[in-house]
Amino acid sequence: MDLHGGPCAFIDRTALRHNLNVVRSTAPKSRVMAVVKANAYGHGIVQVAQALLGADAFGVARLKEAVALRNAGIGQPIVLLEGVFAHSDLDIAAQLQLDVVIHSFAQLNMLASWSSARRLSVWCKIDSGMNRLGFRVDEFAIAWARLRQCVQIQQLRVMTHLADADSRDHQRTPQQITQFNHAVEGLNVERSIGNSAGLIAWPEARADWVRPGLMLYGMSPFADSVAAELNLRPVMTLVTPLISVREVPAGEEVGYGGTWRATQATCIGIAAVGYGDGYPRHARSGTPVCINGQIKPIVGRVSMDMIAIDLGADSAVKSGEPVILWGEGLPAERVATFADTIPYELVCAMSQRVALQYR
Ligand SMILES: *Cc1c(COP(=O)(O)O)cnc(C)c1O
């Protein structure tokens, strides 16, 4: 393993395709919009899309992300999940044949006043209760009537987003699904409801299209389960070398602020990863890492470039050994709980300094 003194994220493309197959078998009647926003959750947008050419479409948050995919020759439909914000963006979307979400009257007016020889496919977003983006259910009929009259539109679809799909028995989810289905009742259009949690936990959310993100990367969206329990395989394994091992006598403190003290003599390993790489600074003492198949706790504060690991008194681990921070053998979901965050944030927050290697 070539780590060159710093962290490397190994990306397993076979696992990506395996996870897409899990989506397919979970929602066999749905088409799959693979969500690859935020650099494919830190996994590399172009490489991920190339590994997932079996998806029916890709979903992104920003125009820049869609441009990167088209520049790389990705020919699938690409959906701008938050739509566009200027006529010039509509021009680019038309030129690159991007689908746009329309979630507000401001966007609708912009589209209606846009003149172009080209036409766009539009996903009309309905706010079924999350109160983030979308037409409220009671304004939807007006929005829909206007969209139907837009000559700029090629194909119209409808979608909504669930706020609590990751709580397996939350009552807001069936309420949202009912609101949405009620709003679009009788319309002959394709529908999309579920993200990863939605499509796994809520069969009613497996509509014409599903929109998985996190599960494709092999992480569980549920606080009470890890990916393996859902037959998902982690795609990213973040590894860094130990760059030093030292003996620390009982009673001495480790790291900035001395927030951890050795209660007995022990070996402390220093690994080359820190918040400058996106490793969460709030990871507490006790956050697990994996060395030679063994789980060890980090101790003391996370620094910009380093973490300290309690290897134990009679450790034989040597400088240079690879340390797995999350991925194979150590679910990112587990690490996230020690840093009071979610696996989404761990993988998205990785900095430019972390090299991505594909296998
Ligand atoms: C990010 C996003 C998704 C994917 O969500 P996951 O929880 O990662 O599966 C789906 N739909 C929309 C609108 C999103 O913004």
157 C-beta closer than 6 A to ligand 1: no
- Taking the whole predicted model, whether its pTM rises above 0.85 is answered as yes
234 C-beta closer than 6 A to ligand 1: no
Q: Which two tokens stand for residue 22?
A: 């899990």
205 C-beta closer than 6 A to ligand 1: no
Determine the Cα–Cα distance for residues 160 and 184; give it in Å rounded to an integer. Answer: 11
Q: Of residues 37, 41, 125, 275, which has the active-site annotation?
A: 37
Question: Is residue 256 annotated as part of the catalytic site, yes or no?
Answer: yes
83 C-beta closer than 6 A to ligand 1: no
Determine the Cα–Cα distance for residues 156 and 142; give it in Å rounded to an integer. Answer: 15
Q: Of residues 29, 125, 256, 358, which has the active-site annotation?
A: 256
Q: How far is CA 180 from CA 18, 59, 135, 208, in A?
A: 31, 20, 11, 14
**If you measure from the C-alpha of residue 290 to the centroid of ligand 1, how many angstroms do you get, rounded to a whole number?**
30
Q: Which residues contact 190 (CB under 8 A, 6 or more apart)?
A: 157, 158, 207, 208, 209
Q: Where are the alpha helices (DSSP H) in 211-302?
A: none
Residue type, 297: P
Taking the CA of residue 161 as reference, the ligand 1 atom at the shortest distance is 13
Handedness of CA 55, 233, 306, 299 (dihedral sign): positive
Determine the Cα–Cα distance for residues 77 and 228; give it in Å rounded to an integer. Answer: 30
Which contacts qualify for 332-337: CB closer than 8 Å, 24 or more apart? 332/219, 332/234, 332/236, 333/219, 333/220, 333/225, 333/226, 333/227, 334/226, 334/288, 335/283, 335/287, 335/288, 337/223
Q: Which residues contact 19 (CB under 8 A, 6 or more apart)?
A: 215, 216, 217, 218, 232, 233, 235
Determine the Cα–Cα distance for residues 143 and 147; give it in Å rounded to an integer. Answer: 6
Determine the Cα–Cα distance for residues 96 and 281; give it in Å rounded to an integer. Answer: 40
**If you measure from the C-alpha of residue 348 to the centroid of ligand 1, how many angstroms do you get, rounded to a whole number?**
13
Going by C-alpha positions, the residue among 145, 140, 148, 149 that lies closest to residue 180 is: 140
**If you measure from the C-alpha of residue 45 to the centroid of ligand 1, how many angstroms do you get, rounded to a whole number?**
15
Determine the Cα–Cα distance for residues 51 and 149; give it in Å rounded to an integer. Answer: 38
Determine the Cα–Cα distance for residues 52 and 50; give it in Å rounded to an integer. Answer: 5
Q: Which two tokens stand for residue 200?
A: 């796994």
103 C-beta closer than 6 A to ligand 1: no
Provide DSSP, 107-136: HHHHHHT---SS-EEEEEEEESSS-SSSEE
Domains and CATH numbers, the chain: 13-219 (3.20.20.10), 236-358 (2.40.37.10)
Taking the CA of residue 214 as reference, the ligand 1 atom at the shortest distance is 8
Q: What is the pLDDT of residue 168?
A: 87
161 C-beta closer than 6 A to ligand 1: yes
Beta bridge partners of 288: 297
Taking the CA of residue 195 as reference, the ligand 1 atom at the shortest distance is 9
Taking the CA of residue 215 as reference, the ligand 1 atom at the shortest distance is 9
Going by C-alpha positions, the residue among 171, 341, 134, 315 that lies closest to residue 242 is: 315
211 C-beta closer than 6 A to ligand 1: yes
219 C-beta closer than 6 A to ligand 1: no
Question: Is residue 125 annotated as part of the catalytic site, yes or no?
Answer: no
Q: Which of 43, 211, 333, 345 to mutate to test the pocket of ligand 1 (most atoms within 8 A of CB)?
A: 211
**If you measure from the C-alpha of residue 211 to the centroid of ligand 1, how many angstroms do you get, rounded to a whole number?**
6
DSSP at 314 = T
214 C-beta closer than 6 A to ligand 1: yes
Determine the Cα–Cα distance for residues 102 and 110; give it in Å rounded to an integer. Answer: 10
Tens-level pLDDT at each residue, the chain (359 residues): 678 789 999 999 999 999 999 999 999 999 999 999 999 999 999 999 999 999 999 999 999 999 999 999 999 999 999 999 999 999 999 999 999 999 999 999 999 999 988 999 999 999 999 999 999 999 999 999 999 999 999 999 999 999 999 998 889 999 999 999 999 999 999 999 999 999 999 999 999 999 999 999 999 999 988 899 999 999 999 999 999 999 999 999 999 999 999 999 999 999 999 999 999 999 999 999 999 999 999 999 999 999 999 999 999 999 999 999 999 999 999 999 999 999 999 999 999 999 999 99
Q: What is the pLDDT of residue 3?
A: 81
Q: Rounded to a whole number, what is the distance in angstroms from the first to the last CA of the chain? A: 12
Taking the CA of residue 196 as reference, the ligand 1 atom at the shortest distance is 9
**If you measure from the C-alpha of residue 149 to the centroid of ligand 1, how many angstroms do you get, rounded to a whole number?**
29
